């Protein structure tokens, strides 16, 4: 048996049934001060259990999730603008650096007739759009898998 009183941590552990040591139980049964503390903690727990949860006239979970989604969308929009600016600067830089190499390509197109030029341009754009749409679909599918 302990000669001094139990700490609040020991009493709380006993009240919450986390600790059931014999010396703590024996001390509580013989010490009126510690027994009073145990009784007050048990009354406090009982009072907390009796409290009804606060009800709101709106769905707090939905409201919180809406705010989170708005924050995510705002954050992703800012990141998108930064990405687009970076890509634009990168493409412009590549174009400026490659001007000496692009000139022979333009000369080749000038030597071909208009129908051939139109066919090459339309074919190239069609293939490019196809690859971009496939890549975008794959990206969306992966996003759905990650968020599911």
Nearest to 2 by CA among 21, 26, 33: 26
Q: How far apart are CA 1 and CA 9, in angstroms?
A: 17
* Per-residue pLDDT at 1: 43
* Per-residue pLDDT at 70: 78
Asked if residues 5 and 32 have their Cβ atoms less than 8 Å apart, the reply is: no
Torsion of CA 60, 66, 70, 73, to 10 degrees: 140
Rounded mean pLDDT of the chain? 83
- The answer for residues whose C-beta is within 8 angstroms of residue 28's C-beta and 6 or more apart is 6, 11, 14, 34, 35, 38
Q: How far apart are CA 104 and CA 110, in angstroms?
A: 10
Domain boundaries, the chain: 8-50, 60-97, 103-148
pLDDT range class, residue 90, cuts 50, 70, 90: very high
- The answer for residues whose C-beta is within 8 angstroms of residue 30's C-beta and 6 or more apart is 1
Q: Any alpha helices (H) in 16-98, and if so which ranges?
A: 22-30, 32-50, 60-97
* Per-residue pLDDT at 21: 77
pLDDT of 18 over the 70 cut: no
pLDDT of 20 over the 50 cut: yes
pTM of the model: 0.36
Mean pLDDT, range 129-145, rounded to an integer: 90
pLDDT of 125 over the 90 cut: yes
């Amino acid at each position: 048996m302990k000669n001094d009183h139990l700490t609040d941590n020991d009493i709380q552990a006993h009240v919450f049934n986390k600790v059931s040591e014999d010396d703590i139980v024996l001390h509580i049964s013989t010490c009126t001060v510690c027994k009073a503390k145990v009784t007050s903690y048990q009354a406090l727990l009982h009072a907390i259990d009796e409290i009804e949860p606060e009800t709101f006239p709106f769905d707090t979970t939905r409201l919180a999730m809406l705010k989170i989604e708005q924050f995510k969308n705002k954050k992703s929009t800012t990141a998108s603008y930064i990405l687009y600016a970076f890509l634009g600067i990168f493409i412009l830089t590549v174009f400026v650096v490659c001007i000496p190499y692009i000139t022979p390509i333009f000369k080749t197109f000038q030597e071909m007739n208009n129908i051939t030029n139109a066919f090459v341009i339309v074919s190239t754009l069609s293939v490019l759009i196809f690859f971009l749409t496939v890549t975008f679909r794959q990206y969306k599918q992966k996003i759905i898998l990650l968020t599911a």
